[in-house]
Structure 1
Amino acid sequence: MQPIQLSFLVFLLLCTSNLRAQQGYSGNEELDCDNQGRRVPSPSYLYTCNGQNLSCRAFMIFKSQANYSSVSSISRLLSTDSLELARINDVSVSDSFPTNKEVIIPVNCSCPGQYYQANTSYVIDDVDTYYSLATGVYQGLSSCNALVGENPCDANDLFGGLDLLVPLRCACPSRNQTADGIKYLLTYPVSEGDSFSDLSDRFNASYDDTASANGFSKQGEPTIYPSTTILIPLPQEPVSSQTIIHHPIEISPFQPLHPSIINNNIKRSHSKLRFGIGIAVASLLVLCALVAVALWCDKKWMKRAVGKKKAILPKDILKAITDVNHELKVLSCEELNAATQDFSCELWGIGTGKEHSYLVYEYMENGSLKDWLMDRSRSELLSWNQRVQIALDIANGLDYLHNSAEPPYVHTGIKSSNVLLDRNLRAKIANFSMARSLEGGGFAMAGTVEGTLGCMAPEYLEGGLVTHKIDVYAFGVVMLELITGKDAVIKHEGREKLLSSMMISIVEGRNAQVELSNFLDSIMRDGCQVGLALAMAKLSVACLRQDPDSRPSMGEVVSLLLRLQMESKKSGVA
């Protein structure tokens, strides 16, 4: 089988050999908009790909604002999972944060080229600029240079309603940092009054490690600027107790004069005036104290009155509480699996009634991906960019299972019917009934081979070998379904054939682009460049290689899909 013929894949693999020990601090250059760093690596653009891995789990700090204070609004702004954001900040998904409260943002950080980034998108207003987005809305988590470089529109050609790609600043630990026990890098946007040493202490990070991570000398206190970012190396996930609420720094307009410039004559001439002012101030303080005592007494009396009311609950509520059976019931794993559909969706709550009790799950409004692709009336509503985003969502989920979960897991049942879509057509992986942990080794053996025809890797189908690469293979099939709108097994010329086999022969043929255009889903022929679809098809074929070791990792797949997503937006494809 010929190797994948994607030029950006070759470039990507060449770029990952750089394993320098640190990133550089951009300083005030991050605030420039001169489009530097697109070709020559620059810390004012984003953080360079010098880590041990192409993708990783990373964290950011975002300060809640008036328009972005709830878990849901912040999650949408930064394209992160709301349930995971709520978990790591120790709140519920329906909660909101106080203004200027630091919020921990978990992201999937990837390297689609020479820079690490976590991508999101933003629909601008007429008054928005690249600079205002970078320093205002995103608080320095993106840079003006990166916004200019990653979007097709010139800074003077922006208009309201334009959907911009926003690359967020993140990074993965280098080989040296990993050897020193660093697992995560946290991107922290500097605020007025922050000091480098205080930030290191607050997040329990070594000062030397933090200095090294940002290219600073380990001697002295470095100068850092608001609306820029520093990286904080962490041996474990950050916790909400390490975050604070920022209060605006108030500077008094009256600055004290140095004693040496005060003339003795001036002191004497103003002594009477100061004496009079002192009496007035003392009288005012006494009056304030009397008012405060009166208010306190009134509040205490009100509290007692309210307390008496609160102490008496309505009888119907008391009866409802006492009627609930509080006896704890022990359920078997089989019962739990049946009740939760193999823990497919997030449990949000429970409800109890007279005859029935209920478990409340996250509602995936748009059902399964398979339902959408097989229903022609709905399939035609899936744009090219939505299909790429769905593929990226699935890839990020698998990358998390393979590389960030403790222990790592193999799903073993990836297929379009096990991918659910929410109201925004964002994908989540479902049905973990066949998931296998790989704790203590890189493979396992399945006692019984179970799966769906057309989605099972040959090494699993023939010998029951379970590795991360069987998920990669199945994901390749799902990508082909996304491109073509066809099932994993199709009827062709009166016979059943595997979609994967047919697409491999097309992609590796002489007239790949022409043949592929006839095989694409109808909306793909009209709405996207066939060249982009061919790039995605080639990535799919790379995932379907017979030799498991020659298939890309899910981290590499995420990076390539991010690159494809950016190319699509630059090309103006819907």
Structure 2
Amino acid sequence: MESFSFYTLSIALFLCLCYDTTHCQQAYLNNSQLNCTSDPSISKGYLCNRPLQTCKSYVTFRSQPPYDTAKSIADLLGSDASLIASINNVSNIFDSIPADKLSTVPITCLCSGTIYQYYAHYTAKKSDTYFHIANDTYQGLTTCQALTGQNYYNSGDIPVGTELTVPVRCACPTENQTENGVISLLDYMVKRNDTVLSIAKAFGVSVWSVLEANMLSQNSTIYPFTPILVPLESETCTTNPGSFFCDCPNGYAADGVSCKTDPRKFPIKWIALLERNLVSHFIAMTKEDRLHQILQPQVAREASREDIHAIANLAMRCLRLNGKKRPTMKEVSMELEALRISQKGLENFQMLREFPRASFIER
């Protein structure tokens, strides 16, 4: 049997750690939220896809009575009225904002279980339904499916005066996005005649970054009243440092006018995708010498026990909570290369041992 590839073993073991839904970006909602009787998981919110539990995020809201001042919009979305006024160049939090004018609202996005969300609170009014609250009051920033999942009442029987929990859609940048200069993600509500190009131009970002962030192609259709994620980039801060999103988030350092990753906080890419419970499971399986139970059958059958444990121990060191004690990417690469060379030397030695025996048999 051909010797099992060391690189195949390394990749297989690292991939077996990764959560099945570690998409680099987020899927576009695509009008699935309009059918309240269906329950697609995408309607609940964007999937958590990195260890960062919270981040600064933004949503957009179009002024309409009675939510037409920074104060009333802040009360509806649970945000800061002064920040809303400042970001949107409004003099006073009680000043009326022209009808249908787009306002940008800062929120703190939270990874709740496996879904990114921000929780606002809303007092139910007469004739309110989850569909009406989601699509009219909150303008698509939540869904009837998400509201149903967070509240006790049936959609058609919500008592007047009841305080409802409203999961507002939001997301944090992925590891790839932050490395490419993305500071925050903005949840923009599409209006009629919007295109990905027009949205990208409005926020000074590339069309490609918006398409990638929403897992769209150039031929994809976007629909009015659906949210689309806009990656806000530090590069924009270089040309327009006054942009509302140019404050650096945790884990990043300012270089004067833009944000860049802080090497001291940089995690290894594939480890950054792990869910906490999966990390705990991997560590427990390693310590209990039961790694073979989570390996693919071919890997468990053909890889040597020594190679499995060597790579697992390297992964364990990469998972240390103290970032200063983790090996660098260069150290990881060097150690894997040393293990590969060691394995190749052992294979050559075994071939030499077999050679005289094979020659004798041929005679």
Residue in 2 aligned with 1:181?
181
Q: CA deviation at 1:96?
A: 2.5
Give the Cα separation in 1 of the matches to 2:36 and 2:72: 27
- Could you tell me which residue of structure 2 aligns to residue 76 of structure 1? 75
Instruction: Look up the match of 1:403.
Output: 250
Q: Deviations over 1:76-127 (max 9, x none)?
A: 0000011221221122334321010000000000011111011101011121
Question: 1:157 matched to which residue of 2?
Answer: 157
Q: Whole-Å Cα distance in 1 between the matches of residues 229 and 196 of structure 2?
A: 10
Determine the C-alpha separation between the residues in 2 that align with 1:57 and 1:155: 31
Deviations 1:210-238 (CA, angstroms, capped at 9, x unpaired): 10111112x33x21112211101111489
Q: Is the 8 A contact 1:52 1:173 kept in 2?
A: no
| 1:99-498 correspondence runs (5 A) | 99-217=99-217, 219-220=218-219, 222-236=220-234, 403=250
Deviation digits for residues 138-179 of structure 1, max 9, x if unmatched? 000011110111111122321211111000010001111111
Report the AA paired with residue 112 of structure 1: S
**What is the correspondence of 1:53-72 to structure 2 with a 5 Å cutoff?**
53-72=52-71
Maintained 8 Å contact 2:84/2:105: yes
Distance across 1 between alignment mates of 2:118 and 2:166: 8
C-alpha spacing 1:401/1:198, structure 2 compared with 1 (3 Å): closer
Decide whether the 8 Å contact of 2:183 with 2:248 is kept in 1. no
Deviation at 1:405? 8.9
Matched position secondary structure for 1:97: coil
Q: Which runs of 4+ in 1 moved over 3 A?
A: 14-19, 236-239, 404-407, 439-442
Name the SS for the 2:47 alignment partner. Answer: coil
Letter in 1 for 2:79: T
Distance 1:61 1:16, change over 3 A: farther
Partner in structure 1 of residue 24 of structure 2: 21
Deviations 1:465-507 (A, max 9, x none): xxxxxxxxxxxxxxxxxxxxxxxxxxxxxxxxxxxxxxxxxxx
> Residues of 1 paired with 2:125 and 2:48: CA distance?
32
Q: Distance in 1 between matches of 2:232 and 2:248?
A: 20
Provide the C-alpha distance between the structure 1 equivalents of 2:182 and 2:128, rounded to a whole number of angstroms.
Answer: 38
What is the CA–CA distance in structure 1 between the aligned matches of 2:142 and 2:99, rounded to whole Å?
21
CA RMSD of aligned residues (A): 3.1
1:190-222 deviation per Cα after TM superposition (whole angstroms, max 9, x unaligned): 1122122211111111111110111112x33x2
Distance 2:173 2:233 in 1: 10
Which amino acid is the alignment partner of residue 23 of structure 1? Q
Unpaired runs of 5+ residues, structure 1, are: 1-13, 244-399, 408-438, 443-547, 551-574
For residues 213 and 223 of structure 1, what CA distance do their matches in structure 2 show? Answer: 15
Q: Which amino acid is 1:30 matched to?
A: Q
The one-letter amino acid of 2:181's match is G
1:27 match: secondary structure: coil
Cα separation, 2, equivalents of 1:118 and 1:177: 21
TM-score, with length taken from structure 1? 0.38
Partners of 2:138 and 2:55 lie apart in 1 by 21
Partner amino acid for 2:119? N
Structure ranking higher on relative contact order (CA contacts 8 Å, 6+ apart)? 2
- Alpha carbons of structure 1 residues 168 and 58: separation in structure 2 relative to 1, 3 Å: same
What SS does the aligned partner of 2:79 have? coil
Q: Is the 8 A contact 1:118 1:167 kept in 2?
A: yes
Residues of 1 paired with 2:45 and 2:174: CA distance?
A: 16
Contact 1:23 1:43 in 2 (8 A): no
Over 3 Å counting, the alpha-carbon distance change for 1:108 and 1:129 in structure 2 is same
Question: How many angstroms apart in 2 are the aligned matches of 1:95 and 1:162?
Answer: 29
Distance (whole Å) between structure 2 residues aligned to residue 234 and residue 132 of structure 1 = 30
Say whether the 8 Å CA contact 2:186–2:229 is kept in structure 1: yes
1:460 paired residue number: none
**Aligned partners of 2:172, 2:193: CA distance in 1, in Å?**
27
Query: What is the alpha-carbon distance in structure 2 between the residues aligned to residue 64 and residue 15 of structure 1?
Result: 42
Return closer, same or farther for 1:86/1:406 CA change in 2, 3 Å cut-off: farther
Instruction: Provide closer, same or farther for how the CA distance between residues 163 and 57 of structure 1 changes in structure 2, counting only shifts above 3 A.
Output: same
1:441 CA displacement:
7.1
Contact 1:15/1:113 (<8 A) preserved: no
Q: Which residue of 2 aligns with 1:270?
A: none
Percentage of pairs with the same residue: 37
The alignment's TM-score, normalised by the length of structure 2, stands at 0.59
Question: Is the CA contact 2:56–2:249 (under 8 Å) kept in the aligned structure 1?
Answer: no
Q: Tell me if the contact between 1:20 and 1:51 (Cα under 8 Å) persists in the aligned partners.
A: no
In structure 2, the CA distance between the partners of 1:81 and 1:404, relative to structure 1 (3 Å rule), is farther
Alignment of 1:546-565 (within 5 A): none
Is 1:203–1:242's contact at 8 Å kept on the other side of the alignment? no
2: CA distance, partners of 1:18 / 1:55 = 19
Contact 2:53 2:110 (8 Å CA) reproduced: yes
Does the residue aligned with 2:112 lie in a helix, a strand or coil? coil
Paired amino acid for 1:403? N
1:490 maps to none
Name the counterpart of 1:456.
Answer: none
Q: Does 1:50 align with 2:53?
A: no
2:331 corresponding residue in structure 1: none
The AA in structure 2 aligned to 1:194 is D
Retained in 2: the 8 A contact 1:71–1:82? yes
Instruction: Please say if residues 142 and 167 of structure 1, whose CA atoms lie closer than 8 Å, have aligned partners that are also in contact.
Output: yes
Counterpart Cα distance in 2 of 1:213 and 1:126? 38
Deviation for aligned residue 1:17: 8.9
